[in-house]
Amino acid sequence: MEVDHTYLSTHFGQLSDEELLAQFGSGNLTDAAKIIAANEIRNRGLQIPVEQPQLPETFDYAGDYEVVARFPNVMNAHVVRSFLESAGVPAVMADTNVVQTYSLVASALGGVRILVQSDYVAKAREIINAFNNGEFALRDADDEPI
């Protein structure tokens, strides 16, 4: 069913103020319907409700972010961040764009930083040490006994 401007204007015009505001704030309207509803709200002299950002119902604060590793190469940082995430440690990278764009100042910045929340620092360092010690290295076909 295709809904046009006239239909939406009529629909929103027939609603009570409370119903109109409830539908506007429901998050179920298309962009076009939202514009038409907003016009109806303004025409009635009502205040358009400001959408409040919704946080997840449960929000576990795991501490401030701390640097757990630095890499001069963006690709190596991506690999280690991927290992951390696959082990259940949420990680973010910082300064990747600057290091890629201005490679001459990468060493002055200290390279690409990998950051994790403080609750995950110990686990992240353990994973990074295992990575650096080659514990995740894949064996070559030549390394396997015949």
Note the pLDDT tens digit of each residue in 102-111.
888 888 888 9
Q: Is residue 10 part of a domain?
A: yes
Q: Is residue 135 part of a domain?
A: yes
Read off the tokens for 63: 């501490």
pTM of the model: 0.55
How many domains does one find in the chain? 2
Together in a domain, 37 and 69: no
Phi, psi torsion values for 103, nearest 5 degrees? -60, -25
Q: What does the alpha-carbon distance between residue 12 and residue 21 come to, in Å, rounded to a whole number?
A: 10
Residues 62/74, Cβ–Cβ less than 8 Å: no
Together in a domain, 74 and 121: yes
Q: Is the pLDDT of residue 124 over 90?
A: yes
Q: Is the pLDDT of residue 62 over 80?
A: yes
Helix segments in 16-113, DSSP class H: 17-24, 31-43, 74-86, 96-101, 106-109
Together in a domain, 121 and 78: yes
Window from 33-47, 81-95, 112-126 with minimum mean pLDDT: 33-47
| Domain with 124 in it | 65-142
Domain of 76, CATH number, reads 3.30.70
What value does the mean pLDDT take over residues 93-120? 89
Residues 41/48, Cβ–Cβ less than 8 Å: yes
Q: What is the mean pLDDT of the chain?
A: 86
